[in-house]
Amino acid sequence: MLIIPAPVLASAQGNPSISVFLPEDRVSPGDETTLSFSILNAGQISVGGGASAEARVTTARDVKLTLSPGDAPIQVLTGTVPVGNVAEGESDPVPVKISVNENAAPGTYSLPVEIEYVYTFIISTGDADSPGHYQRTKTVTQNVNLIVEPQPSFEIDQITLGPVLDGYGPLDIVLSNDGSETATAATITLTSESSQLTFTGAHGSQNVSAFVGDMPPGDSQSIQFEAQLAKGSMGIVHPVSLSISYTNEFGELQQSKSIKSGVSPVSDSGRFSVISNPTNLSLDQAADISFTITNDGGDAISDARIFIQSTDPKLSFGGSNTAESAVGNWPPSVSEIVSFKSNLGEDSNVRPYPVIIEILYKSSNNSDRTSYPVTVGVTPLGEQSFSITDVSTKLSVGSEGDLSATLVNDGPQSVENAVIVFTSDLQTISSLEEEYAVGTLSAGDSKSFKFSLDVSESADEGQRQISLSIRYRDSDGKSHVSDPIDVILTVSPELDVFEVSPVSSTFSPGGNGLLVLQVTNVDDETLTDISAKIFPESPITAGDDTAFIPQLSAGESTEIVFDISISPAALDKSIH
């Protein structure tokens, strides 16, 4: 207590009169905002004096404002705020930052506001040399109303991405209105904060919107967007944010605060499985290569086109390193076989040649898609080859004989309409038939064949070389001729095919009679139209020196007869 001495002559006496106001008193659940308080000073004068003294006693000095939450669902984020001096009238706005609870119930709440200040209540001029100033410290607590308005409050109840096929998949969101007001004509906007996550419905943008309509309190909505992931971005959480624009009960357009979340893909696989089928493509033959491709997705696609690319310059498709095949509509779980004409360049070898396969298509919602590239290997067959085995010949100078052997298809392909072609640069050995038809011969199979050869009398005995080549058609009907296969023939000296022995061959000088000879065919085949002739010399003469044998089978014997005469001057001896 301050005791004022008496008698005192006061030149001014009075005090400030402080009130607090909150002009903008409306907030919403979840807001983080700044309240602007106004301090009104309606100063009071008890004893008048000069203007300066009156201003002094009505001014609140060193003013401090402290806000308490009371029972309001808020958090006060600012401590005591120094205001300074507040003369008569209204102060500048005093900012206090608050946060409104997300689940704040709508209503009017009372906020305690404490104002502490110092003021001079008496100015005394009783002693001119030492005027008296008497001051006090005062604390005023006043309640102001804060109105929490009803409004929608949105929560993401669930967010998933997948299953992902070829980098595309559904992003599903379950959004609820946990607030106290209907969001009318609501539109949600989803923003990807990851460059690896975009939205195909928005042409690859990182933002996409969807209209969901009215959302009353307690309502939830399921929204699906079509997302695209960059390859290799499966193992990370992709940050996203969601905002909702809507109309409130007064018809005013409102914008919710941004809701942060994240999503991780649940799976990622290619929609298509690819099998490289066996091919007849070989190092020396162009052929089709084919692939069995299955739509492993759970839905049908349309306008499907298959693109292939060879990454090795030795493998091409009609002279190009790319090719395309149209499939069209493609139900789920259905396999398609696509074929492409292909060929290998020179100096190729048997090894896998890489081929990249991509499928362009429209998804079930008519969005354009490109599959993950799949690389498969195409392994060609080796060069088609044949061999000749079991060669057997019976040839002699001046006679006909056979070349017998076996043709083996060494693969790798089956051949059709195969024909063995006889070729020889020798003038002394020729074939009665230059071709031998074999027909179809599978890889690994063999077939015996025989050529009848004629060896001229001018031929030399010994080994001779001829060539056999194989003309055939492959499985595509294309004609080919193999490289010549050399075959060694052995030609024996000229052989007698008859054996002649006497049956009746003894005569006396001066006598005559019949010379009977036995002729045997020692060849291994039947001989026909055989003419036999004797060449008598003195002292022998023949009345008939020829005989004829129509036919003589191999190993068969017959007798021929000649009428001869012996000169009387002949001596007793054997004559050959």
Q: Which residue has the higher pLDDT, 202 or 542?
A: 542
The CATH superfamily label for domain 277-378 reads: Immunoglobulins (2.60.40.10)
Distances from the Cα of 269 to the Cα of 161, 171, 335, 372, angstroms: 13, 16, 17, 9
> What is the CATH code for 385-492?
2.60.40.10
Residues whose CB is less than 8 angstroms from the CB of residue 97 and which lie 6 or more positions away in sequence, other chains included? 32, 33, 34, 35, 76, 77, 78
Range of lowest pLDDT (165-169, 246-250, 262-266, 531-535): 531-535
Report how far residue 394's alpha carbon sits from residue 8's, in angstroms, rounded to the nearest whole number.
164
Give pLDDT, residue 364: 82
Across the chain, mean pLDDT equals 87
Whether residue 265 has a cis bond before it, omega within 30° of 0 = no
Give the β-pairing of 315-316 and 107-124: unpaired
Please state the pTM of the whole predicted model: 0.55
- Which H/E stretch holds residue 53? helix 51-58
Q: How confident is the model at residue 16 (pLDDT cuts 50, 70, 90)?
A: very high
438-444 contact pairs (CB < 8 A, 24+):
438/407, 438/470, 440/414, 440/415, 440/416, 441/407, 441/409, 441/414, 441/415, 441/472, 442/409, 442/414, 443/409, 443/410, 443/411, 443/412, 443/413, 443/414, 444/408, 444/409, 444/410, 444/411
Residue 233 C-alpha from the chain's centroid? 16
Instruction: Please spell the DSSP secondary structure of 312-363, one letter per residue.
Output: STTEEBTTBSEEEEEEEEE-TT-EEEEEEEEEE-TT--SS-EEEEEEEEEE-
Give me the amino acid identity at 470.
I
Residue 546 and residue 533 in contact, taking contact as beta carbons nearer than 8 Å: yes
Report how far residue 298's alpha carbon sits from residue 279's, in angstroms, rounded to the nearest whole number.
30
Dihedral of CA 215/220/225/229: which sign?
positive
Q: Which tens digits make up the pLDDT trace of 113-152? A: 999 999 998 887 655 455 577 889 999 999 999 999 988 9
Residue 520 C-alpha from the chain's centroid? 82
> What is the CATH code for 154-268?
2.60.40.10
Q: How confident is the model at residue 268 (pLDDT cuts 50, 70, 90)?
A: low
Q: Which residue has the higher pLDDT, 480 or 547?
A: 480
Give me the amino acid identity at 156.
I
**Range 10-148: architecture per CATH:** Sandwich (2.60)
Report how far residue 153's alpha carbon sits from residue 176's, in angstroms, rounded to the nearest whole number.
8
Q: Which residue has the higher pLDDT, 541 or 447?
A: 447
Residue 170 forms beta bridges with which residues? 226
Closest CA to 450 of 398, 406, 386: 406
Report how far residue 254's alpha carbon sits from residue 247's, in angstroms, rounded to the nearest whole number.
6
Give pLDDT, residue 201: 62
Phi, psi of 85 (to 5 degrees): -90, 140
Structure tokens at 550: 């129509």
Residue whose pair of structure tokens reads 């690819």 in the numeric block: 274
56, pLDDT greater than 50: yes
Closest CA to 133 of 30, 56, 22, 229: 56
User: What is the total residue count of the chain?
Assistant: 576
Structure tokens at 283: 């190092």
Range of lowest pLDDT (7-11, 137-141, 301-305, 412-416): 7-11
